[in-house]
């Protein structure tokens, strides 16, 4: 007679952890939340105007939802350079839009575009995602580079001659 094996197989702790991690990742995929910014979905943000209408200044608009610094800047109106940049964003067909307007705030209509932001030397390509709304474009293209010092070399000062090279 053949021996029947029990249905319960021995699992190593490593295998059990791996299978538990896989189950958790599948659960998190199912639980993706819809992006909300200040209580509005992306579709609702796209429908809102940039400025409130003249007849109803208390109605909801993008400018009133922004953080204080951006709200103050937008209340003064966009500069001609920023207006031109915004028109280029509206007319874009998926290419990189290069700009020097580092002070322009990210608006909901910019989401999904790739912007080349000038950092003083070159254009840093940045993909605009919903979490960037309300931040200035310049925050995403650093103008400073970290300094990497080397050891003392030819022409170094007299005091650094006695530094051990190894």
pLDDT at 61 over 70: yes
Please measure the distance between the N-terminal and C-terminal CA atoms of the chain and give it in whole angstroms.
Answer: 75
pLDDT at 11 over 80: no
* Top-confidence range, 9-13, 38-42, 107-111: 107-111
Q: Which residue has the higher pLDDT, 148 or 32?
A: 148
What confidence tens digit (pLDDT) does each residue in 98-136 have?
Answer: 999 999 999 999 999 999 999 999 999 999 999 999 999
Q: How far apart are CA 80 and CA 140, in angstroms?
A: 22
The predicted pLDDT at position 160 comes to 64
Q: How far apart are CA 105 and CA 14, in angstroms?
A: 48
What confidence tens digit (pLDDT) does each residue in 70-107 have?
Answer: 999 999 999 999 999 999 999 998 899 999 999 999 99
Domains of the chain: 42-140 (3.30.860.10)
Query: For the CA atoms of 140, 110, 67, 84, what is the dihedral angle to 10 degrees?
Result: 90
The predicted pLDDT at position 30 comes to 62
Q: What is the DSSP string of 91-147?
A: H--SSEEEE--TTPBP-GGGTT-EEEEE-SSSEEEEE--GGGTTSBGGGGS-S----
SS3 category, 40: strand
Across residues 41-54, what is the average pLDDT?
90
């Amino acid at each position: 007679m053949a021996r029947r094996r029990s249905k319960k197989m021995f699992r190593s702790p490593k295998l059990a952890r791996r299978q538990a991690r896989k189950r958790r990742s599948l659960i998190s995929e199912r639980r993706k939340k819809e992006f909300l910014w200040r209580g509005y979905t992306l579709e609702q943000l796209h429908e809102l105007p940039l400025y409130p209408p003249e007849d109803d200044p208390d109605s909801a608009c993008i400018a009133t939802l922004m953080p204080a610094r951006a709200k103050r800047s937008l209340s003064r109106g966009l500069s001609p350079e920023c207006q031109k940049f915004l028109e280029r964003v509206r007319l874009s067909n998926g290419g990189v839009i290069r700009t020097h307007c580092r002070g322009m705030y990210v608006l909901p209509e910019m989401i999904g575009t790739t912007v080349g932001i000038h950092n003083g030397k070159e254009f840093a390509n940045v993909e605009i995602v919903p979490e960037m709304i309300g931040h200035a474009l310049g925050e995403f293209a650093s103008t400073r580079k970290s300094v990497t010092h080397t050891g003392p070399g030819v022409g170094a000062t007299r005091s650094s001659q006695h530094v051990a090279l190894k």
